Structure 1
Amino acid sequence: MSFDINDYYVVDFHFIDDHRCLQPLSESNVIGESPLKSSEVEYKRNELSKLFKKSGWEGDGEISCMFLAPFFVGRDDGHCEIIYHVKQSNNGTSWVAVPKGLRVSIPEPSLAAR
Structure 2
Amino acid sequence: MASSNKERFGNMLESLGGTPEEVRDFIVYSYHFIDDGLFFLNAREVLGRYPEGYAYIREAEKLLKNSGWEDDGELELLWIPPFIGVGVEDTYGIVCFHVKQSNNGTSWFASKIALPFKSLERCS
Q: Same fold (TM over 0.5)?
A: yes
Identity of aligned residues (%): 36
**Distance in 2 between residues matched to 1:73 and 1:36, nearest whole Å:** 29
Paired position in structure 2 for 1:90? 103
**Normalised TM-score (structure 2):** 0.65
User: 1:60: which partner in 2?
Assistant: 72
Query: Partners in 1 of 2:83 and 2:107 — Cα distance?
Result: 24
Query: Which residue matches 2:120?
Result: none
Aligned to 1:47: 59
Q: Given the alignment of the two structures, is residue 79 of structure 1 paired with residue 92 of structure 2, yes or no?
A: yes
Residues 48-103 of structure 1 show CA distances to partners (whole Å, capped at 9, x for unaligned) of: 11100111111111100111112212555631211110011111111111223344
Unaligned runs of 5+ in 2: 1-17, 118-124
Decide whether the 8 Å contact of 1:68 with 1:82 is kept in 2: yes
Q: Which runs of 5+ in 1 are unaligned?
A: 29-34, 105-114
1:77–1:10 distance in 2 versus 1, CA, 3 Å: closer
Q: 1:47 to 1:27 in 2, by over 3 A?
A: same
Is contact 1:73–1:81 with CA below 8 Å preserved after alignment? Answer: no
Shift in alpha-carbon separation, 1:13–1:90, aligned structure 2, 3 A: same
Partner of residue 20, structure 1: 38
* Larger CA Rg, structure 1 vs 2: 1
| Larger helix percent | 2
